[in-house]
């Protein structure tokens, strides 16, 4: 029986991630739900930390839509930069290049610079899987297409972008689906800062606590019977359990 320690959307909040990792026992399978980067102040340090955990501790890091946008920008910088910029991409570009986070970005030249200066981190992102399926769980960044005859046919794009059709759909997979992407305060229609997980009777657990919006970074310890422990870190670095 495998225990899983699952971490929600980090978005460059390196100190919060380090604080949460103090709760990990070092043995449970560590799973990141994607969106390591963008908006927060230290995307490079987050990427390096998680890459090392993948390489040295057999952690698994799924791709999120922000990793998807990052690669789309690198592969077609002139066309894709504006969309990436509007979603907080400049903070990651500048973090990777060691510049002030508000430094001006040149879409094409900086894409080349990122490829030249941080090829290991780019390759790490390119290799991120889009889903992890276990006996009792499906781990995915945004969700899956529940109206398909076989959810495995969900496109990679939908795995990192889907929202309402997944949230509102009927989970008939027979497994609990653990996801991030949509901050829980949106799902609850409340203000940032709530520490509740979003859980449904048909087996969905939403755990993007909106850390980068002044919310929390969630960590869940799961076993075959469900949630064993729920941890969350607030933006003020105060460790809490709930």
Question: How many independent structural domains does the chain possess?
Answer: 1
In degrees rounded to 5, what are phi and psi of residue 113?
A: -65, -40
100 in a structural domain: yes
15 in a structural domain: yes
Please tell me the predicted confidence (pLDDT) of residue 67: 98
205 in a structural domain: yes
241 in a structural domain: no
Q: pLDDT (tens digit, 9 = 90+) per residue, 168-179?
A: 999 999 999 999
29 in a structural domain: yes
Nearest in space to 198 (alpha carbons), one of 216, 213, 174, 223 = 216
How far is the CA of 233 from the CAs of 184, 224, 237, in angstroms? 14, 25, 6
Average pLDDT for 50-54:
98
Q: Which domain holds residue 111?
A: 2-236
Please tell me the predicted confidence (pLDDT) of residue 239: 39
242 in a structural domain: no
Question: What is residue 171's three-state secondary structure?
Answer: coil
182 in a structural domain: yes
Question: What is residue 74's three-state secondary structure?
Answer: helix
CATH number at 164 reads: 3.60.21.10
Whole-angstrom distance, CA of residue 16 vs CA of residue 14: 5
102 in a structural domain: yes
Considering the chain, what is the average pLDDT of its residues? 96
Average pLDDT for 47-67:
98
Whole-angstrom distance, CA of residue 229 vs CA of residue 22: 14
With a CB cutoff of 8 Å and minimum separation 6, the contacts of 181 are 9, 33, 34, 35, 64, 65, 141, 142, 143, 160, 161, 163, 208
Please tell me the predicted confidence (pLDDT) of residue 235: 82
Q: pLDDT (tens digit, 9 = 90+) per residue, 73-114?
A: 999 999 999 999 999 999 999 999 999 999 999 999 999 999
User: ∠25-26-30 over CA atoms, to 5°?
Assistant: 100
Please tell me the predicted confidence (pLDDT) of residue 241: 37
Whole-angstrom distance, CA of residue 173 vs CA of residue 77: 38
């Amino acid at each position: 029986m495998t225990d899983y320690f699952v971490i929600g959307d980090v978005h460059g909040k390196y100190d919060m991630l380090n604080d949460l990792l103090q709760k990990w026992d070092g043995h449970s399978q560590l799973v990141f739900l994607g969106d390591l980067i963008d908006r927060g102040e230290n995307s490079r340090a987050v990427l390096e930390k998680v890459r090392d955990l993948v390489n040295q501790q057999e952690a698994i890091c799924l791709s999120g839509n922000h990793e998807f946008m990052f690669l789309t920008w690198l592969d077609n910088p002139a066309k894709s930069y504006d969309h990436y910029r509007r979603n907080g991409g400049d903070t990651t570009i500048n973090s990777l290049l060691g510049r002030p986070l508000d430094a001006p970005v040149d879409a094409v030249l900086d894409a080349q610079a990122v490829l030249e200066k941080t090829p290991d981190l780019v390759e790490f992102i390119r290799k991120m899987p889009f889903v992890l399926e276990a006996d009792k769980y499906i781990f995915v960044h945004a969700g899956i297409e529940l109206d398909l005859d076989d959810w495995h046919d969900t496109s990679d794009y939908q795995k990192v972008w889907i929202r309402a059709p997944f949230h509102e759909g009927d989970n008939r997979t027979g497994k609990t689906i653990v996801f991030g992407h949509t901050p829980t305060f949106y799902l609850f229609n409340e203000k940032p800062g709530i520490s509740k997980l979003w859980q449904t009777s048909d087996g969905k657990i939403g755990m993007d606590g909106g850390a980068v919006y002044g919310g929390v970074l969630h960590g869940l310890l799961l076993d075959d019977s469900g949630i064993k422990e729920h941890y969350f870190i607030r933006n003020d670095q105060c460790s809490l359990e709930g």
